Structure 1
């Protein structure tokens, strides 16, 4: 099959940088629903897509050819055939195993399929490891939006088995959907109309909403241009204001020193700080790296749980009784220094309480808690291998800079005229 493509740079300043490089402010009056795992997420997303009248915008890191992927494909094809504009932006690494026939069916039906930084295998191995499109966003008819950590794959469903992932997303209805819609359009290379509130602001919005009302939502994102640290800064700022409690559940935890220090400082001043980590990791190095930080945090009163029922894939946090964040960003060097990520910040007491109860039940029923004073063991291993793991992870973004430079591209896949 011949595939026609054109190149659109997505991590370099585009020609219409003023339209794309935006700082989104706090939007009030939103309805936010927590969606835990694929059992809650997929029915909501698919229902919205089936009801779409004008447009479906989708970004995902992973789309597999399994029961979830095939259902998504059928829904997108049916929507495109009835005249809905459908744009699917997929990551070239996470979706690199999709078959030609799968992509061809979508393209021939009129779905605008775009692959971010695709690359052929070298000696049977994929080499496009870094600067991934890691966002998971769906916007339907500019009326409802979904954002979180859940990919379109069956391993987010409980019936997948012991390797099924524990994860979270949110559904948003209200004014914040306009920001997510505009962002998704701009990042896909589509034309966007400039309206008041979308233009680049002379100063960034305040990181902490001053209003006491609920239903506040703000979109934040990480790119490799102007917004390299926005998500990390949001965590740091929220923790610096924490008064009573903070809970962070994150699959891949190896943040920079500033964020680690803020977590420790919050615990030192009496905030009840809980971290929920992977106890059954899908990437062993992630667990080893996180454990390098345990002693530093435990000695100042941070409570650390390891979730052991199945792999933890969540990227959520809450502070006090009204601040929360849900999104695609882990707290590791890949997410904080290389990948394209997106989170929402939420100021809503009911949502905060719902997320807290979910995480508290997870910690209470399915986690093991690390002892405050752990007995030293395998000290020789910790001194050698542990030291190496710690510093490799710490300097990982710099090390990747030594690799041959390239500019990741978003490549639209068009319906072929004929097979070759």
Structure 2
């Protein structure tokens, strides 16, 4: 009798988690008419030069050194939001830089995802060092609770740093060795992309910096953000203090080695591109399924393209409606898509979902370039004609569209668009064009196909089958 009761209780718990952790997200959600009537694509354009200047930050080394310089030269405020920070040497340097800035009197607020970072940093003294500093506030977004399974899919997926409300670094790159590529690192590199925006005129009201700052404030002070720890035990305080000393010693070593990057002699105005206008777009901040604001904006921009469209996402998973909206090419514009290949992708479930759409995209007339160079690409970039560029954290998949918080910067600038195309072409040159039935087209410029192991091939075939049933979570 007792065993029978236990089985029923376990079955009920399983059903509860299945319904409220999975099935509750399996329904369609559309953008409201209010949003559509309030926002239009015209707001992304301007005929005048604006106060914001922009720089594409692509290579892992540039990503690391840019962050070092910006944080090291912050004077007043530093706001940081990240989906994931790894537990490795690059993160030690990152946290050491933050502590060093806090010692200088900089007021720092950090918002981390409540699942990915918590798992990696459970009982880690580095977090205690941050939480114990009087000039640092640390919060986690939507921390997990065992009997609230819907929280699992309500994730903070964005990655950005705001320095003195003057500079923002925003993109798809997390913090860790595989994203920064430090010296003597022999692991897999993940190629990604950020954009640095410099407000050259703080008196102007047209900068995107206030938009990003307001968005951060809303999230940091919102109902879903909680203190990383409510209180620190005596042992945790001591562990944090010892860790603080170790991290500062590490930063002292980095300063000796890369001293010039700590100096405030970078002329951002000189090395950045002129822009007419930069606009922040983001998803709504709420639990459960969200209105797909960013997806809507991307589709509207593509619909209004006159000559060409470029789409880059690590994987592309589209429902039939989005497939129709994006690739129903009524204007006969050229659409180029850059994504990973079966060999380069590290994300089997999401890529399995993409395989279900690959032939449909090819049949639409779009050109798919699959990357066959070394490592993998995690960048999210969109270009419309020669004057609009989008860079941020938004993947072209249901999770980014409906479940996660996401941010993208829409940049109206021919100069930036041109620089971005030069960067993108380096990856295109290491890619093969997908033809009919998934076969690659051969040309004189074709590179060698990167081979895929049998086990990974079988795994992708399996995930492409089950992806049809759980596509709304990919």
- Between 1:244-253 and 1:318-327, the stretch displaced more is 244-253
Structure 2 CA distance for partners of 1:383 and 1:35, relative to 1, 3 Å? closer
8 Å CA contact retained: 1:137, 1:148: yes
Equivalent in the alignment of 1:41: 63
Alpha-carbon distance, 1:38 to partner: 2.5
Alpha-carbon distance, 1:352 to partner: 0.9
Stretches of 4+ aligned residues off by more than 6 angstroms: 22-25, 381-385
Equivalent in the alignment of 1:222: 283
Equivalent in the alignment of 1:151: 174
Q: Secondary structure at the match of 1:95?
A: helix
Structure 2 CA distance for partners of 1:51 and 1:386, relative to 1, 3 Å? closer
Alpha-carbon distance, 1:373 to partner: 4.8
Match of 1:186 among 200, 205, 218: 218
8 Å CA contact retained: 1:35, 1:168: yes
Equivalent in the alignment of 2:253: none
Structure with max Cα Rg: 2
Q: Secondary structure at the match of 1:355?
A: helix
Alignment map for 1:137-286 (pairs within 5 Å): 137-158=160-181, 160-161=185-186, 163-174=188-199, 175-189=207-221, 214-225=275-286, 228-266=291-329, 269-279=331-341, 280-286=344-350
Equivalent in the alignment of 2:131: 107
8 Å CA contact retained: 1:64, 1:152: yes
Equivalent in the alignment of 1:348: 413
Structure 2 CA distance for partners of 1:383 and 1:327, relative to 1, 3 Å? closer
Structure 2 CA distance for partners of 1:298 and 1:282, relative to 1, 3 Å? same
- Alpha-carbon RMSD: 3.0
Q: Secondary structure at the match of 1:248?
A: strand
Q: Which has the higher contact order (CA 8 A, sep 6+)?
A: 1
- The structure whose residues are more often helix, as a share, is 2
Match of 2:467 among 383, 389, 397: 389
Equivalent in the alignment of 2:9: none
Matched, 1:80 2:102: yes
Structure 2 CA distance for partners of 1:224 and 1:109, relative to 1, 3 Å? closer
Q: Secondary structure at the match of 1:48?
A: helix
Q: Secondary structure at the match of 2:418?
A: helix
- Between 1:126-135 and 1:289-298, the stretch displaced more is 126-135
Match of 1:370 among 434, 446, 451: 434
8 Å CA contact retained: 1:301, 1:372: no
Distance 1:374 1:23 in 2: 38
Alpha-carbon distance, 1:107 to partner: 1.6
8 Å CA contact retained: 1:38, 1:150: no
Q: What count of residue pairs does the alignment treat as equivalent?
A: 345
Match of 2:351 among 265, 268, 287: 287
Q: Secondary structure at the match of 2:155?
A: coil
Residue by residue over 1:314-361, the C-alpha shift from the partner in whole angstroms, topping out at 9 and shown as x without a partner, is 111101101111111111111111111111111110111111122122
Residue by residue over 1:190-246, the C-alpha shift from the partner in whole angstroms, topping out at 9 and shown as x without a partner, is 8xxxxxxxxxxxxxxxxxxxxxx9431100111244972221011101110112211
Alpha-carbon distance, 1:382 to partner: 11
TM-score (norm 2): 0.67
- Between 1:143-152 and 1:155-164, the stretch displaced more is 155-164
Structure 2 CA distance for partners of 1:104 and 1:386, relative to 1, 3 Å? closer
Structure 2 CA distance for partners of 1:382 and 1:168, relative to 1, 3 Å? closer
Residue by residue over 1:393-414, the C-alpha shift from the partner in whole angstroms, topping out at 9 and shown as x without a partner, is 1x448xxxxxxxxxxxxxxxxx
Alpha-carbon distance, 1:262 to partner: 2.9
Distance 1:161 1:273 in 2: 36
Matched, 1:29 2:51: yes
Q: Secondary structure at the match of 1:233?
A: helix
Distance 1:383 1:115 in 2: 36
Distance 1:73 1:23 in 2: 38
TM-score (norm 1): 0.75
8 Å CA contact retained: 2:352, 2:460: no
Structure 2 CA distance for partners of 1:272 and 1:144, relative to 1, 3 Å? same
8 Å CA contact retained: 1:263, 1:273: no
Residue by residue over 1:108-128, the C-alpha shift from the partner in whole angstroms, topping out at 9 and shown as x without a partner, is 223211112333899xxx996
Alpha-carbon distance, 1:165 to partner: 0.8
Alpha-carbon distance, 1:255 to partner: 2.8
Q: Secondary structure at the match of 2:301?
A: helix
